[in-house]
Every structure is written in structure tokens, then in C-alpha cells.
Chains A and B, each alone.
Chain A
Amino acid sequence: DTAVSQTPKYLVTQMGNDKSIKCEQNLGHDTMYWYKQDSKKFLKIMFSYNNKELIINETVPNRFSPKSPDKAHLNLHINSLELGDSAVYFCASSRISEGNTIYFGEGSWLTVV
């Protein structure tokens, strides 16, 4: 059983398009995150949602909009894609009351051409 699953795993799209990456966790966690790993392999948090409420919104362009329809889902929508958006995007989740072990999805490789 996959704990944190994200789709698609690979996505190649043209500049200017709008795309979404979906994430679901079946762990009953109350907090979900999106991380970005850039071309230099550096991982950085983008967003954090706790019980469907936005907690963290790092310095991310407003072309990126997370949406959390319920506590088990946190989707990432990206508008007007740019070449610099090419990266690996990781979804993660945790339950703060359980020592906050964070579980990561397998990543979504986004390539903008």
C-alpha cells in the first residue's frame, strides 16, 4: 500500500501551459507539504497545509497554487509554466502529534520545453 502517492510521475509540457500534480496520502495525517528539488538537487519546501489550512507559503511565484479539497489530498496547480519550473516536485505528509515523522511521495519529474 502506497502511503503518499503522487501523479503523474513524469510530465513533459510546453512553456505557457497549465498543469497539475495530484497528491494523496492514506496515513490519516493532518499535515501535507509540497517540496521542490531543483537542478542542483537542493530540496526546499514550497507549501505546508495543516487540516486543509495553508500554514507556509515560501517565496513561490503565485503561478503555483496548492489546493487541498480534504485532509488526504493536496494538489499543486501551476499556471503559465516557465523553463525554470523544470524540477522534481515531492509531496509529503505527517501527523504532528506522532513525532512528526514526514513521509515523502516518490516525486513528480516536471520538464518544461
Chain B
Amino acid sequence: KQEVTQIPAALSVPEGENLVLNCSFTDSAIYNLQWFRQDPGKGLTSLLLIQSSQREQTSGRLNASLDKSSGRSTLYIAASQPGDSATYLCAVGGGADGLTFGKGTHLIIQP
């Protein structure tokens, strides 16, 4: 059964730093991997989607990589801002089986 682990569980850094969030999964038979952002009391915002045949995706200051063979993904955030403070969720799978989520990384960017 697929298991998704996110490290660290929580992270607090000063504004302006570059940072990396890690995600690992146990079963490499996935359709895709998605990174989401969730603000307190809010729904999910999709940040990046990487198909199983792709290695990385970029959107603005965000870059996500996927190494399916090793079951790992990273989300790189450049020049962090206080507005980036949120919980970041990694999810893998796809197809009719839906997504399996990690427990998230709670990120705080200090002004």
C-alpha cells in the first residue's frame, strides 16, 4: 500500500531564504505527483503537477522535481516570503485510485 512521507513536518525560516521540502513514497507505480498548498481553514490549492514521465516542473519561484525510481520529490521555494507561510502537501497516485497524501510540512516564513 502506498505510503507518503514528508520531511520536515515543520519548518521556520527567515524571509528571503531558499528552502527545500522533501517527499518520499514507497510505490513508484504512480500516474503523477502533485504539490498542494493549504492555508489555515482553507481548501487545497494545486501548486505543481509532475506526470510520471517528467522530471520537474516550475512555476514562478517554485520548482518541483520527481525521481520516480527512488520514490522522491522535492519542492524548492526560492526567495521565500511571509505569504508563503502555509502547509505544503505532497500527493502521489492518480487514476481512479485517487491520491495518497503525506501529512504535510507546516512552513512559517518569518518577516
Contacts and interface: CB of A to CB of B under 8 A. Distances in A.
Q: Do A and B bind each other?
A: yes
Given A45-B99, A50-B96, A56-B98, A101 B46 contact: yes
A103 B97 contact: no
Contacts of B36: 104
A100 B31 contact: yes
Contacts of A45: 97-100
A30 to B, nearest CB: 9
Nearest to A51: B96
Given A42-B103, A43-B89, A90-B43, A56 B32 contact: no
Contacts of A103: 46
Interface in B20-45: 31-32, 34, 36, 38, 42-44
Interface of A: 31, 33, 35, 40-45, 48, 50, 55-56, 90, 92, 94, 96, 99-107
